[in-house]
Amino acid sequence: MRAVSLEVRAVSSRRDRQEFIELPFRLHSTSPQWVPPLRVERHVFLSRRMNAYFTHAGAQEFLATRDGRVAGRVSAQIDRAYDDQHGPGTGMFGFLEMEDDSEVAQALIDTAQAWLAERGRHHMIGPMDYTMNDEAGLLVEGHLREPMIKQPWHPGYYQRLVEGTGLTKAIDLLMWELVIDDREKILPVIFELAEQCETKHGVTLRHMRRRDLAKQIKVFGEVYNAAWKRNWGFVPYSESDLKHYAEELQLVFDKHWFMLAEKDGETIGIAITVPDINQVLKKMNGRLLPFGWWYFLRRAQIMDRVRVGFLGVKPEYQHTGTAARFYVEHFDVAKVRPQKWGEMGWILETNRAMNRGMEAMGGRIVKRYRVYESRF
């Protein structure tokens, strides 16, 4: 008979935190697509003192154990910045990992909901670790592809288990593959719009500089908070969020792929494309020592793909062709850089303009992440 000794407990000790971090290593180490994170980075990310998220949010992580063995994990969190934007009542869950066990899945979701309900929430969305700008959504298409930077990976059975708990779809997030050194796939209208961007509208494009990154990230925050404010689940970047983000980007900065668009001295658009550090992390296998540091130092020779993570234009300038100018610049950079292809997104399935733009550039959807919700 099946064992019934299933328990869910709050993460409260250093050992609990270690088991929380180690669970995906045990679950996915034999899956060729999974990319192990750096353990030390995960400790920092979960730290209330070191992660800027906790300046405007609170969270609790949980472990599910069966017969003393860790069989699943989840977090529940409340973001005051989300409340300010969308009103109170919604909480989030994330960091969802579990064995192929429907009882474990149900216990984890029930626990997250109960924690949120005790704090006055009646609506839950997720998974997200901790926000939509971190690893977000459950992988429902594209399981045979490796995740890129800040993309989660889940085995196929997760969708069955999650939907078996009663959670329903809220929205899908799409990843588009682009071969960015193949200009032949781009519709001519993209080049026409890109040319008019400067000649007709006076918009110029330049690349960021590392020494100015902290200052330019503040400008990124202005563009992001304006361009993405109508997106589903949008939460604006705070000053502390941007400082934390700038520190992260220093590790993956590449001047060729970080771009600004300007008009009359004002930054009106931004594109942050990141060489895929996951290719390096996979070789590091979660550790800096003994040889992980060597792979990190050689990262420029290892990474041949990029993730276009942010590409946005302030709403009042979206008619200028600035997005098309960014697209064409990506294809030009790919001529001289080792990175020849990549993925764009995530893009909301409801964002018709961006999805049509991806089609015009010859892209194809290769991954689909699903955000779920429940009301209670």
Is 375 inside any structural domain? no
pLDDT at position 1: 42
Q: Based on the domain organization, do 156 and 11 belong to the same domain?
A: yes
Per-residue pLDDT of the chain (376 residues; tens, 9 = 90+): 455 689 999 999 999 999 999 999 999 999 999 999 999 999 999 999 999 999 999 999 999 999 989 999 999 999 999 999 999 999 999 999 999 999 999 999 999 999 999 999 999 999 999 999 899 999 999 999 999 999 999 999 999 999 999 999 999 999 999 887 667 778 889 999 999 999 999 999 999 988 888 888 888 888 888 888 888 999 988 888 888 888 888 878 889 999 999 999 999 999 999 989 888 888 877 676 555 555 565 677 788 899 988 888 999 999 999 999 999 999 899 888 889 889 998 999 999 988 998 898 889 999 999 999 999 9
Q: What angle do CA 127, 217, 221 make, to 5 degrees?
A: 60
Q: What is the DSSP letter of 261?
A: E
What is the Cα–Cα distance from 269 to 314, expressed in whole angstroms? 6
Q: Is there a contact between 256 and 211 (Cβ–Cβ < 8 Å)?
A: no
The residues facing 266 across adjacent strands are: 263
Q: How far is CA 196 from CA 193, 313, 325, in A?
A: 5, 16, 9
If asked whether residues 165 and 83 sit together in one domain, one would say: yes
Shared domain check, 247 and 140: no
Q: What is the pLDDT of residue 246?
A: 83
The total number of structural domains in the chain stands at: 2
Of the candidates 98, 60, 63, 58, which has an alpha carbon nearest to the alpha carbon of residue 80? 58
Q: Among 133, 153, 173, give the residue marking a domain's end.
A: 173
Same-domain status, 62 and 186: no
Domain boundary among 173, 205, 226: 173
First to last CA, the chain: 33
Please check whether residue 258 is in contact with residue 311, taking contact to mean a CB–CB distance below 8 angstroms. Answer: no
Task: Give the count of beta carbons closer than 10 Å to the beta carbon of residue 46.
Answer: 20
> Are 191 and 73 within one domain?
no
Residue 158 is assigned to a structural domain of this protein = yes
State whether 183 and 129 are in the same domain: no
User: How long a stretch of residues is the chain?
Assistant: 376
How far apart (Å, rounded) are the C-alpha atoms in residues 265 and 287?
44
- Residues 265 and 323 both lie in one domain: yes
How far apart are alpha carbons 315 and 297 in whole angstroms?
39
Q: How far apart are CA 279 and CA 275, in angstroms?
A: 9
CATH number (domain holding residue 113): 3.40.630.30
Provide the angle, in degrees to the nearest 10, between the axes of the packed helices 14-28 and 39-46.
130
Query: 374 lies in a domain?
Result: no
On whether residue 376 sits in a domain, the answer given is no
Residues 194, 137 share a domain: no
Q: Is residue 275 part of a domain?
A: yes
Tokens of 18: 């270690």
Q: What is the enclosing helix (H) or strand (E) of 367? A: strand 364-375
Predicted pLDDT at 293: 58
In a domain, 1, yes or no: no
Domain ranges, residue 354: 177-368
Give domain status of residue 215, yes or no. yes
- Residue 153 sits in the same domain as residue 235: no
Strand partners, 334: none
Note whether 55 and 142 are same-domain residues: yes
DSSP 338: S
Does residue 292 fall inside a structural domain? yes
Task: Say whether both 140 and 253 belong to one domain.
Answer: no
Residues 112 and 207 in one domain: no
Give the domain-ending residue among 173, 208, 236.
Answer: 173
